[in-house]
Each structure stands twice: as structure tokens, then as C-alpha cells.
Amino acid sequence: MKNRILPPLKPNNRDREYNFYSDELKAQVIYEHLFNNKMHRWMDINVLGANGNTNGRNSANILYYLGLKADYRGFFEGQSIDEVIEILNSKGERYADVVRLLKVQAKTSRLYETVISDIEAQEIEEGNYVEGTKKSYFVNKYERDPKNRKKAIEIHGLNCWVCSFNFEEVYGERGRDFIEIHHIKPLSTLQEAVVINPATDLVPLCANCHRMIHRRKAEILTIDQLKDLIK
């Protein structure tokens, strides 16, 4: 697959659409064309925001200007964007514009994936995560149980264990008695009921540190690991 011969590039000089649209939109048009086999009309409507009467000329002219004709449609289907950037890079200058725009698209996709995974981690933490078809609620009852929380605050105080942040010091009355409570055993190991010892199992954390600890659902940090990160 990697060494297939690329169709010839057939660029033209009609640059009106190419100059009109932003790099982000052009990058997405190229991506949909090369990787997702999308038709010009579909891209005009769904990427470039044209109304339903479009004949697809806008995205077609962007692609034609770069020399990407119909034989490139879906040509890289199933390949990763980084892999294709590497292939086209090795073909020299003539692909420079395409490579530049694919890099824009790669950055956008990465940010999008990060945002999705952040929202997922937050939903797990908030206890309303739904995975696949089977609903599995990881209700974070240990961190949220008011009795546990009150006990933990009485024992450990209201300062973040990682960065010492204190909500009342910064926010005044609005922040009084506020701190988040974190259970130091990863959530996934807490599927069945266990007895919680607030003295050893729960720690106070500010909202920032708490979110960073849970940010990657497959890799929940320990208190010491997070302390090392902010040293």
C-alpha cells in the first residue's frame, strides 16, 4: 500500500477559491477528498458551508488548483494522516502545498481527539460515562459521598495536597470550605463496594490538580506523580 504509484498531479492556475478560503477549510477539503472519498458537492455543503444548490465547484476548484483530480479521491483511505504526510514529503516540492495543508489538518484532528478524550475523562469522573452499547456507570460515589467528604476535610483540611491551593484565600467567602476530594485508588479498581477510610483513602485536591490527575482515563496519576510534574 505504501509504495503504490501516485496519480500524476495536474495543477492549474485558477486560484480564486484557493485564495478565498482559510487554510483550515482547505485542509479539511483535501482531507475529506483524499481519505474519506467524499464528493465535491458534499464538501461544498458540509465543509465550506455552501447551500444545497451548489454544484461542488468550490471544493473542486481548491483541489484542481493543487492538482488533485478524481483519481486522488479516496486514494489514501484507511491510511493515517501522518503516514501520508511522510509519503508526500518524500516526493519533493510539488507536494509542498498539499503537505502544508495536511499538517494543518493533522493538528486540528489531534486537538479534536484530545478534546473528546478530555470530555470522556470528565464524564467518568462525574459519574455519567456511557461506554459502547452497554451502559456502565462509574458513579464516583466514594468521592461524592457527603459523609466521606466531610470526614476527609476534617482530617486533611482544605488545602490541595499537591499545590497547597486554598479556595478561600483566593476567592474569599465564595471559596470557603470548598475543596474537591479524590480517592487515591483508581476508579476502575472500585467496581464493588469497599469500605472507605477517609484518613488513608481520600485526599483534598484543588479543581486543577484533580482534573490533571484524572485527565487520561487509562493513566490516572498518583499524588506523588502529579507533585513531580509541577516541581
- Binding interface with Zn ion (CB under 5 A): 160, 162-163, 165, 182, 206, 209
Minimum CB distance to Zn ion smaller for 6 or for 229: 229
Least Å distance, CB 118 to Zn ion, is 15
**Residue with smaller CB distance to Zn ion, 84 or 162:** 162
Least distance between Zn ion and beta carbon 143 (Å): 5
Close Cβ partners of 137 (under 8 Å, ≥ 6 residues apart): 127, 128, 129, 130
- Label residue 159 exposed, middle or buried (CB < 10 Å: 0-12, 13-18, 19+): middle
Which residues touch 151 (CB under 8 Å, ≥6 apart)?
Answer: 198, 202
Which of residues 55 and 128 has its CB atom nearest to Zn ion in the complex?
128
Which CB atom, from 101 or from 209, has the smaller least distance to Zn ion? 209
Backbone angles phi, psi at 166, to 5 degrees: -125, 120
Any idea what DSSP says for residue 166? B
Shortest Cβ 206–Zn ion spacing (Å): 3
Contact call for residues 183 and 196 (beta carbons, < 8 A): yes
Residue 196 CB, nearest approach to Zn ion (Å): 13
